Structure 1
Amino acid sequence: MNGFSKEFEYLNKIVEAGSFSIAAEQLYIAQPSLSQFVKRLEKNIGAEIFDRSHAPIQLTEAGKIYLEIGREIQELQHSREKQIQDLGNFIQGQVRIGSSNYRSSTLLSKVIPIVKNRYPHIHITLEEGKTKELEDFILQGKTDFSIVLHPFFNPGLQYIELFREELLLVLSSSHPLCIHKDYTLSANSKYPILNPHKLFHEPFIVMKEGQRLRSSFFEFTTENGFFPPIVLESGDMSTAQTLAAAGVGATIVPAKLAAHCTAPIPPCYFSLRNFLSDWQVVIAFKKEKYLSKAAKTVIQIIEEITKND
């Protein structure tokens, strides 16, 4: 890592952590060393980068400018390296992918072994996060592309569509609505349809802030005029699905997760196509960003896998 990259790794970590002590701990360096590093940098540029009067620590206006332009410089350096590397016929280099835990386990777990087998000189790194974080990773130059949902939270992104994914309501198989088969068959899904009015007092397990599935839950309940009690918030869709199967509450999951359910007794699934649009799963990247041969190769393999899945 060169000095320039190290400098911005330190600054970004302080911003993410919100304090010098936490950032130093995560960087495995002493806090006084990190503080002195920032003070020297502030002296060199003639302005304070951080406003230390707030908790968590915040960037000053000068700090915002310094960090934003620094990210642009880093991105240009990264692009230069990739373009020079691509002058040869050999496909190699680092590919940085943004993905949710869910996509990593259900999609990238199939993609990465194929990449390693076909192209041993491509090195993949993963940046995992929530939906909006994955978009931010692209704009911040942390990833070459991210697997996200369209429409986006942020402008400035373009995309390649991979597939559409249905959203499903999940109930325990011991739920009265499942036992008594109080539902109808669907004309546009292999899953049956449940009247949402039967869920008015049903407790729900919902995703935490920043996850698209949380927005889908509130869209579904608001559009149908009911506000069920929230029994639990989870950051993991698989956990929510398993808890729903155990009877803790209802939840909403994407269809591909249903195929990977590990609950001892599988739950009941109901189509929400009459109430919620299918998710549009895409590969997103920054507009006018240079994608290396290695990145394009990985994208082609992802497309290959999703078409055959």
Structure 2
Amino acid sequence: MHSQAFRYLTAILEAGSISRAAAALEISQPSLSQYVQRLEKDVGAELFDRSTRPLSLTESGRIFYDAEKRVAQIREDCRRAVLDINGGERGRVVIGASEYREIFFLTEVLPVFRAAHPGIEIALEEGTTRELEEFVWSGKTDLSLVIAPLAQPGLESIEICEERLLLAVNEKSPLTAAAMAVCPPQLRQAEFPPFPFKLLADEPFIVVRAGQQIHDLYRSLVAQTGASPKIVLESESLNAALALAGAGLGATIVTETLARRSNAALGVKFFAIDPAVPNRLVVAAYRPARYLSKAARLLVRTMQAVAAERFQNG
């Protein structure tokens, strides 16, 4: 009776009504309505508050739904464990990542993984760092590529690589000239000469939106230096922020990977940040209570290998 409960209840919650859920499930509305009624009779309580639109769970419904979600996860973990023992390299891995990491990392990883493990399917979920951690916790993803330390308690992680952060400034901006003027002579020819963050006081700045750790780093630098740049734009995308910096809209913080892959025609000068900021540690976060399948572990190893080769080759 309960084997489909989590799937059907989830469909109703996502659709907001039984009729729309039935259409999504490709079953008839009367069949789904009767299933819910039988389920409520079996449980001994109403699961949905039918006075609300969209439909919402009652308190009893929420307790039952959470229990069925755990049961569904146990069934899935069992299926994966049995598959690992008897099925060879098959299965499906859902990985969460930011748009930036999809473009600048997974585009390198997934072709390598696919060539080595053609029987394993990969699905992607996109979000901010905080959303990606929640995806893992809720079971929406098996793994999420995020930055340590993790904000979500109870998650564990596997190190993938370190990532350096830089400041991007339009090369024709007076700020670029000002930074080079105060740069020690022995560092002026460095690939990334230092840029004192305090020079950005009252200067235009582009930040990524709250929920991403680069935003938190920006706030930390403001607190450390007392400099308060004028925020001209909050962007969801590091790529967009870099392009806008190149257009002269303001300075911004980017990763070394993005700096190295940027087009010289952007007209951006990249600097090391002063005061120095620690490298970001990129990790694959997972929920230890869930079974980490062989397919997921193979994907982690491929990400580690691709990252090691990338940094070894500069």
Mapped partners of 2:142, 2:284: distance in 1: 10
Q: 2:155, 2:286 within 8 Å by CA — same for their partners in 1? A: yes
Structure 1 runs not aligned, ≥5 long: 15-19
Give the aligned CA root-mean-square deviation in angstroms. 3.2
Q: CA deviation at 1:28?
A: 5.6
SS of residue matched to 2:266: coil
- Of 236-245 and 173-182, the range deviating more from structure 2: 173-182
Structure number with larger C-alpha Rg: 2
C-alpha distance 114-37 of structure 1, shift in aligned 2 (>3 A):
farther
Amino acid at match of 2:89: I
Q: Secondary structure at the match of 2:123?
A: strand
Matches within 5 A, 1:4-19: 4=5, 6-11=7-12, 13=14
CA–CA distance in 2 between the matches of 1:305 and 1:98?
18
TM-score, normalization: structure 2? 0.83
- What is the rounded CA distance, in whole Å, between the counterparts of 2:38 and 2:203 in structure 1? 56
Cα distance in 2, alignment partners of residues 37 and 245 from structure 1 = 60
SS at match of 2:300: helix
Residue 103 of structure 1 is matched in structure 2 by: 101
Bigger shift: 299-308 or 224-233?
Answer: 224-233
Q: TM-score w.r.t. structure 1 length?
A: 0.84
* Structure 2 residue aligned with 1:184: 183
Pairing partner for 1:169 from 164, 167, 170: 167
Unaligned runs of 5+ in 2: none
Once structures 1 and 2 are overlaid, which stretch shifts more, 208-217 or 66-75? 66-75
Shift of residue 260, structure 1, vs aligned partner:
2.4
Q: CA deviation at 1:49?
A: 4.2
Give 3-state SS (helix, strand or coil) of 1:259's partner: helix
1:234 partner amino acid: S
Q: Which residues of 2 match residues 121-160 of structure 1 at below 5 A?
A: 121-160=119-158
Q: Percent identity?
A: 29
What is the number of equivalent residue pairs in this alignment? 298
2:221 equivalent to 1:223 = no
Change (3 A) 1:226 1:39: farther
Q: 2:75 aligns with which of 64, 74, 77?
A: 77
Residue 193 of structure 2 corresponds to residue 195 of structure 1: no
Q: Which residue in 2 is equivalent to 1:17?
A: none
* Structure with higher helix content: 2
Change (3 A) 1:207 1:158: same
> Paired residue for 1:88, among 78, 86, 89?
86
> Matches of 2:37 and 2:264 in 1, distance apart?
55
Give the corresponding residue for 1:278: 279
The whole-number CA distance in structure 2 between the counterparts of 1:212 and 1:56 is 34
